[in-house]
C-alpha cells in the first residue's frame, strides 16, 4: 500500500519573544495585536481552516493566556450582547470560538523555530502537517497553503513557501538556492542558508512562514544543533533534508506572488492594517478617503 501524504493538521508557533515589537509585546503576544478588529492570530487560524485544516496545535510560550482566551467562550460577554439584541457582534465573538479544534502545548524556553516545531511531535504523530507562523499573514485572496499541500501530496517532498525579495532584504530571511521544474511556480530546493549577507546569498528567494512537512522531519530536528543566534533553526533541519532526502524526503519550493505581511515587523504590521482596513465595507471608504488626503501631505 502506498503511503498517504494527506495533510489534516496545522501547527502554529506563537512562542517567540517578539522583541521587534517591544514594548507592546512586554505583556501581550505580538500575535494578539489587532489588524482592524481581529488579532493577527485569527487571520492565521482562518487561513488554516479555509484550507481544510481544523486540527490546530498552537505552540505557546509566556503570556499565552490572552491567546487561549481569545479562542475560548466568554459566557458573560455573549449574554450581554444577547440581552442587548446585538446579533452582529455576538456572531463575531462566537466566530472565534467555533473556528476549529485548537490545542495548546508550551515550548518552555523559546529555543528557536525548529525547537518550537519539535515540541509538537507528540500531537502531530505520523502524518504530514502544515506549519503556519503565527505572525505571518497571507492575504486570503491569494491561496498559498492549498497549492503547497497539493504539491506535497503529488510529490511526497517537504514544501516551503518562497518569495522574491529585494537583494538588500535577503539577510532578514532564510534563502534558497533552487532549480526550476516544468511547473512554473514550483522549484527544487538545492540549498538553504539562514539570513545570508547580500553578497553571500545564493538567490533573492526568501523563505516565508508556511511549510508542509513530513513527520520524519522530527527526526532531523532532534539531530539539529543550535545554529545562528544559539537557536534550533527549522532552516537547518530542512537543509539536512536537502542533503539526505532518503530520511525525510527532499524539499520543494512554491514561489508565492501574492500579498504577505510580516506583522512581527512594525512597518509590515502597519501596511497590513491599512490594506485590510481599506478593503473593509464598513470603514474602508472613510479610511481610503482620509489616506488619499493624508498622502498628499507627506
The residue ranges that bind ligand UTP (CB under 6 A) are 13-20, 59, 107, 110-113, 115-116, 133-135, 264
112 membership: H or E segment, kind and range:
none
CA-to-CA distance for 188 and 252, rounded, in angstroms? Answer: 5
- Of residues 228 and 257, the one with the C-beta less far from ligand UTP: 228
CB count, 10 Å around CB of 120? 23
Q: Which is nearer to ligand UTP, 24 or 275 (CB)?
A: 24
Give the separation between CA 194 and CA 185, rounded to whole angstroms.
22
**Min dist. Cβ of residue 169 to ligand UTP (A):** 15
Least distance CB 107 / ligand UTP (angstroms):
6
> Which residues are CB-contacts of 228 (< 8 A; sequence separation ≥ 6)?
194, 195
Shortest approach of ligand UTP to residue 134 CB, angstroms? Answer: 4
| Residue 111 or 271 with smaller CB distance to ligand UTP | 111
| Least distance to ligand UTP, CB of residue 20, Å | 3
Q: In whole angstroms, what is the distance from residue 203 CA to residue 177 CA?
A: 6
The nearer residue to ligand UTP, 63 or 278, going by C-beta atoms, is 63
Considering the complex, state which of residue 96 and residue 107 has its C-beta at the smaller distance from ligand UTP: 107
The alpha carbon dihedral of 236, 237, 239, 240 has a sign of: positive
- Burial of 27 (C-beta count, 10 Å sphere; 0-12/13-18/19+): exposed
Distance, in Å, from the CA atom of 245 to the CA atom of 220, rounded to the nearest integer, reads 11
Whole-number minimum distance, CB 263 to ligand UTP, in Å? Answer: 10
CB of 162 to ligand UTP, least distance (A): 16
| Cβ proximity to ligand UTP, 271 vs 279, nearer residue | 271
Half-sphere exposure of 139 (CA within 13 A, CB side): 16
**No. of helices (H) and no. of strands (E), the chain:** 12, 13
DSSP bridge pairs for 178: 189
Q: Decide whether 16 or 249 has the Cβ nearer to ligand UTP.
A: 16
Q: How far apart are CA 130 and CA 198, in angstroms?
A: 29
Cβ at position 278, least distance to ligand UTP in Å: 26
Q: Residue with the closest Cβ to ligand UTP?
A: 16
Distance CA 187, CA 255 (A): 8
Amino acid at each position: 500500500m502506498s503511503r498517504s501524504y494527506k495533510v489534516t493538521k496545522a501547527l502554529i508557533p506563537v512562542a517567540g519573544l517578539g522583541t521587534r515589537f517591544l514594548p507592546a509585546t512586554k505583556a501581550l503576544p505580538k500575535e494578539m495585536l489587532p489588524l482592524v478588529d481581529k488579532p493577527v492570530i485569527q487571520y492565521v487560524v482562518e487561513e488554516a481552516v479555509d484550507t481544510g485544516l481544523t486540527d490546530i496545535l498552537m505552540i505557546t510560550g509566556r503570556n499565552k493566556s490572552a491567546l487561549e482566551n481569545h479562542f475560548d467562550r466568554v459566557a458573560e460577554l455573549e449574554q450581554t450582547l444577547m440581552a442587548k439584541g446585538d446579533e452582529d457582534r455576538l456572531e463575531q465573538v462566537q466566530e472565534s470560538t467555533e473556528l476549529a479544534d485548537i490545542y495548546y502545548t508550551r515550548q518552555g524556553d523559546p529555543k528557536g523555530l525548529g525547537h518550537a516545531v519539535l515540541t509538537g511531535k507528540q500531537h502531530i504523530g505520523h502524518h504530514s502537517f502544515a506549519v503556519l507562523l503565527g505572525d505571518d499573514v497571507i492575504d486570503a485572496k491569494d491561496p498559498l497553503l492549498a497549492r503547497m499541500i497539493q504539491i506535497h501530496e503529488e510529490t511526497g517532498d517537504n514544501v516551503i513557501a518562497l518569495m522574491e525579495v529585494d537583494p538588500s532584504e535577503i539577510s532578514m530571511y532564510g534563502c534558497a538556492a533552487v532549480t526550476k521544474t516544468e511547473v512554473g511556480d514550483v522549484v527544487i530546493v538545492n540549498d538553504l542558508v539562514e539570513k545570508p549577507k547580500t553578497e553571500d546569498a545564493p538567490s533573492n528567494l526568501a523563505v516565508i512562514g508556511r511549510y508542509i512537512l513530513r513527520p520524519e522531519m522530527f527526526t532531523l530536528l532532534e539531530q539539529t544543533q543550535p545554529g545562528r543566534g544559539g537557536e534550533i533553526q527549522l532552516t537547518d533541519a530542512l537543509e539536512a533534508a536537502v542533503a539526505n532526502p532518503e530520511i525525510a524526503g527532499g524539499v520543494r519550493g512554491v514561489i508565492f506572488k501574492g500579498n504577505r505581511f510580516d506583522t512581527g515587523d512594525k512597518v509590515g504590521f502597519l501596511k497590513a492594517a491599512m490594506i485590510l482596513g481599506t478593503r473593509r465595507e464598513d470603514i474602508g471608504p472613510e479610511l481610503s478617503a482620509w489616506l488619499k488626503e493624508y498622502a498628499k501631505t507627506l
